Structure 1
Amino acid sequence: MKHNIASFPCVAQPAGQAELERENMALKARVVELERLVVCDTLTPAYNRRHFMNELSSWCWRKHMSGGDYGLLFVDVDNLKAVNDKHGHSVGDALLIAVAEALLAAVRRSDIVARVGGDEFAILLADIPSEKIGEKAEQITNAVDQLEIPHQNGQLIPHISVGFVAVESGIAPEDLLLRADRSMYAIKQAKRPRRLN
């Protein structure tokens, strides 16, 4: 006896097949979005702290196993609380987004930029000799100093403080981040107080 294959429940009908393909595409798009949300900051175009710490651990392991030259920058946005208090959180958010975009524009695709705290970013620099890390920190500082962020009362010019360390073999990732944070704090303390417009 010959059966009509289209009568079996497991054989999709043409219209049903198209619908399944649409659903499958929608699910794939949702998976891509969820994967992005797991590693990306919710406000800025930078990565999030969780992803950064995973990357820092990997880079430390790579340094231990194979050597290489890596740098770690710790960036603090100066006076963000004052901006939020004076102009509102939407202006502070715009400032953080602009700073993140400037940081991303100042590094290579192989480098990692992440927002690791409310007003703090960290950057992993690949293939950079230790004597060049400070120059890169200064270059990034200058790039952010050139920003002008419009808001209802005029222009806002953000400033940052950038600490830096070389990634060293045998140093735990958390300790490296703490060293870079301390370097940033020393730089911040050495600067004259700056005010934002």
Structure 2
Amino acid sequence: MKIGLYFGTFNPIHIGHLIIANELVENSNLDQVWFVVTPQSPFKKKQSLLDNYERLEMVHRATDIYNKLRPCDIEFSLPQPNYTAYTLVHLQEKYPKHAFSLIMGEDNLKSFHKWKNYQAILDNHDIYVYPRISEGKIETQFDGHKRIHHVHAPIMELSSTYIRKSIKAGKNIRPMLPDTVWQYIDQMGFYS
């Protein structure tokens, strides 16, 4: 099975995340997309970042109705700080019959050469790159690489930061979130 890994804090997960993941799983050779919830670093406390399990719960609620999208908490049990390369090794050991690929925005591809063990990632895993809003095409040293696949997906300007700020300001952001996520945030009083 070919699994696309979509890493993020998902603080909160919103419809933009789901649209990109669904577009990739429906229009590529990926069988599933796993939302890998990045744990809060014990060294960097961010006041606006919800607890790991609260964010994981939102991802569960958001993906519950999609059989090709699922949450993944694999990084919760790994030593911190953690690196994507280590997560990939750990997943490959745990699920040897799966082939894991990365999903990233093209803005992240630009700095990919600075990632820990980026060459090992590139040697062993495909990378699916979705477009971001930019001033023209983003040039990288990876253009034309056989393991990097640029995919056509809707360009999403929606951000979790914008959603958090809007909730704090008392704005209605309900259309930007899956209903189950909005209900959870509202019930728990998150980001207010």
- TM normalised by structure 2 equals 0.23
Structure with a larger share of its residues in helix? 1
